[in-house]
Amino acid sequence: MRRHIAFLLCFVAAPLMVVAQGTPTISSKYDFVAGEKVIFFDDFSTENIGDFPVQWNTTGSGEIVTTNLAEGRWFKITNARGITTLDQPLKLPENYTIEFDVIPQKYLPKNTSTYFNFFVLSTTKPKDLMYGLARPGDAAVKFSFEYSNYYAAYYRDGTPEMKGIEPAPRLLEDKKYHIAVWVQKERIRLYIGESKVFDLPKAMSKAYAYNMIRFDNGTPLISNVRIATGLPDMRSKLLTEGKLVSYGIYFDVNKDVVKPESAGTLKMISDVLTENPSVRIQIVGYTDSDGDDASNLDLSKRRAAAVKNALVSGYGIAADRIETDGKGETQPVAPNTTSVNKALNRRVEFIKR
């Protein structure tokens, strides 16, 4: 797959707009930028339909499916009362991002609810899914996507410390949403599409090592789960080192249209170029090895051109300051043998000229 591929509560209703094909613009409130180093990725592209995915664990049930609602393969959680987590614990630093696509589903035939929970956990027993989060020594931030409100709470040593509800339209059945979570030390933010829904300044405790994500109480379809660490220092990498490798520019499979959730990264790059008007750059696209060489080469060139168009049309960067190219699958940064490595190879590079 050639994808590129998340109390004081702040709710932002202003959406991102698309003013031209592949050209997202951004409000000042949409500030999400994906982490630089991918430590986990799963788009389920190597899984067999009907199987339970190998990188996951559950107390309930689930299977890999395809759907006419969206491209690719999806992990459908089929037991609403089950707990679903990663099979292996994570090693998360102070700063990281978590992203996934979700298609909510009703979990009872006559129920209108598309409710589900998502957690970022610190657990001393990551392999024991029944251990729960309400135990001494554990901590969690919980986001619930309820009937007509979004609910957030956090727990430390098994005790809920703060909670709150944001009024919001419920997530609709059979519609795809991109959810992004951004952790910076004690602060955690959650975005749905191009809207920032929660901004919790003190939810993450320095006393705990967060090491797991979890879904429960719902039957959503999920895909494109990406966990990455470290906020890229775009200014230093582009101006001082001469090259910025970005994983924050997003495209659908086999497509060259820049997705709106790329806007945070585009805004930061445009700021660097605006503040340094003499700098010229080359944008180079890369893919993984799935598919044939010629198609990948063509796709990488078209994607680089789409990123240029986004910067020119959406952010006012002069076109003559940017040239583009594509290398397809010819220059991988990692062997194309795992989903994480393929995610590393799907990238856009900005090179100072």
Q: Are 198 and 10 in contact (CB under 8 A)?
A: yes
What percentage of the chain reaches a pLDDT higher than 90? 58
pLDDT of residue 55: 96
Task: Judge whether residue 300 has pLDDT over 70.
Answer: yes
Domain edge (last residue) among 186, 210, 229 = 229
pTM here is 0.83
Question: What is the tens place of the pLDDT at every residue in 262-275?
Answer: 888 999 899 999 99
Is position 146 within any domain?
yes
Question: Do 332 and 246 fall within a single domain?
Answer: yes
Question: Do 43 and 189 fall within a single domain?
Answer: yes
Q: Highest-confidence range of 26-30, 121-125, 250-254, 318-322, by mean pLDDT?
A: 318-322
pLDDT of residue 151: 84
Return all residues near 295 (Cβ < 8 A) that are at least 6 apart: none
Q: What is the mean pLDDT of residues 86-101?
A: 95
Is position 20 within any domain?
no
Question: Do 85 and 169 fall within a single domain?
Answer: yes
Question: Do 212 and 264 fall within a single domain?
Answer: no
pLDDT of residue 147: 65
Other beta carbons less than 10 A from residue 95's beta carbon = 16
Phi, psi of 343 (to 5 degrees): -65, -35
pLDDT band for 108, please (50, 70, 90 cuts).
Answer: low
Question: Do 85 and 102 fall within a single domain?
Answer: yes
List the beta bridge partners of residue 227.
Answer: 40, 98
Q: Encoding tokens for residue 173?
A: 């059945």
Is position 49 within any domain?
yes
β-pairing, 37-42 with 187-192? unpaired
CATH of the domain at 175: 2.60.120.560
pLDDT of residue 261: 84
pLDDT of residue 8: 30
Q: Can you list the pairs that 54-59 forms with residues at least 24 positions away whose Cβ atoms lie under 8 Å?
A: 54/87, 55/86, 55/87, 55/88, 56/84, 56/85, 56/86, 56/87, 57/84, 57/85, 57/86, 57/87, 57/127, 57/129, 58/82, 58/83, 58/84, 58/85, 58/129, 59/83, 59/84, 59/129, 59/130
Q: What is the mean pLDDT of residues 242-268?
A: 89
Return all residues near 213 (Cβ < 8 A) that are at least 6 apart: 85, 86, 90, 98, 118, 119, 120, 121, 227
CATH of the domain at 320: 3.30.1330.60
Counted domains in the chain: 2
pLDDT of residue 155: 87
Question: What is the tens place of the pLDDT at every residue in 195-207?
Answer: 888 999 989 988 9
Domain edge (last residue) among 183, 204, 229 = 229
Is position 17 within any domain?
no
The residue with greater pLDDT, 123 or 158, is 123
Question: Do 220 and 274 fall within a single domain?
Answer: no
Task: Please give the residue range of the domain that contains residue 344.
Answer: 234-352
Question: Do 161 and 288 fall within a single domain?
Answer: no
Is position 21 within any domain?
no
Task: Judge whether residue 257 has pLDDT over 60.
Answer: yes
Other beta carbons less than 10 A from residue 121's beta carbon = 22
Is position 252 within any domain?
yes
Question: Do 218 and 264 fall within a single domain?
Answer: no
pLDDT of residue 25: 44
Question: Do 195 and 76 fall within a single domain?
Answer: yes
Return all residues near 9 (Cβ < 8 A) that are at least 6 apart: 152, 164, 166, 198, 199, 200
Measured CA to CA, the distance from residue 135 to residue 341 in angstroms comes to 36
Closest to 219 measured CA to CA, from 326, 82, 350, 28: 82
Task: Judge whether residue 131 has pLDDT over 80.
Answer: no
Question: Do 195 and 72 fall within a single domain?
Answer: yes
Q: Are 303 and 256 in contact (CB under 8 A)?
A: yes
What percentage of the chain reaches a pLDDT higher than 70? 88
Question: Do 58 and 203 fall within a single domain?
Answer: yes
Measured CA to CA, the distance from residue 223 to residue 45 in angstroms comes to 10
72-76, 172-176, 281-285: least confident range: 172-176
154-168, 192-206, 229-243: least confident range: 154-168
Question: Do 45 and 84 fall within a single domain?
Answer: yes
Domain edge (last residue) among 197, 229, 261 = 229
Is position 185 within any domain?
yes
Is position 280 within any domain?
yes
Other beta carbons less than 10 A from residue 127's beta carbon = 12
